[in-house]
Amino acid sequence: QVQLIESGGGLVQAGGSLRLSCLVSGRTFSSYNMGWFRQAPGKVREFVGQISWSGSITDYADSVKGRFTISRDNAKNTVYLQMNSLKPEDTAVYYCAAKRSGAYQYDNWGQGTQVTVTS
């Protein structure tokens, strides 16, 4: 098990940018695939994107493709979500999640960080 702590959320105007960070405890961070998810009020949690343990493979939800970028620094046990061209519909609590390479489901979750985009 690892612990995940997100940071970097806040209030931003439409068209602006934010970078979220997720610090992961433990010495095995580089063996985990990392994901970002979000949950807007009254909606189910949805997938935003993910990055492989090596950082060589990423994929994104269609709603954020071309605007959001996931990266990781294994030396710092940190994964990032760079969000550009933000829209009001991006408003949500953003969660990072971890799963061991080869695992089916994400089973380690952070507490979430709020992102609010105003029009």
- Residue that is written with structure tokens 């609590």 in the block: 93
Give me the mean pLDDT over the 94-116 stretch: 95
Question: What are the pLDDT digits (tens) for 40-77?
Answer: 999 999 999 999 999 999 999 999 999 999 999 999 99
What lies within 8 Å, CB to CB, of 24 at 6+ separation is: 2, 3, 4, 32, 34, 77, 78, 79, 98
Cβ contact 59:35 at 8 Å: no
Longest dimension (CA), the chain: 41
Burial of 118 from C-beta contacts in 10 A (0-12 / 13-18 / 19+): exposed
Distance CA 24, CA 45 (A): 21
In the block, which residue shows the tokens 């979220």? 20
Instruction: Give Cβ neighbours of residue 65 (< 8 Å, ≥ 6 apart).
Output: none
Instruction: State mean pLDDT over 87-116.
Output: 96
The stretch 95-104 carries a mean pLDDT of 93
pLDDT at 27 over 80: no
Q: Indicate the pLDDT class of residue 101, thresholds 50, 70 and 90.
A: confident
| Average pLDDT estimate for 71-85 | 96
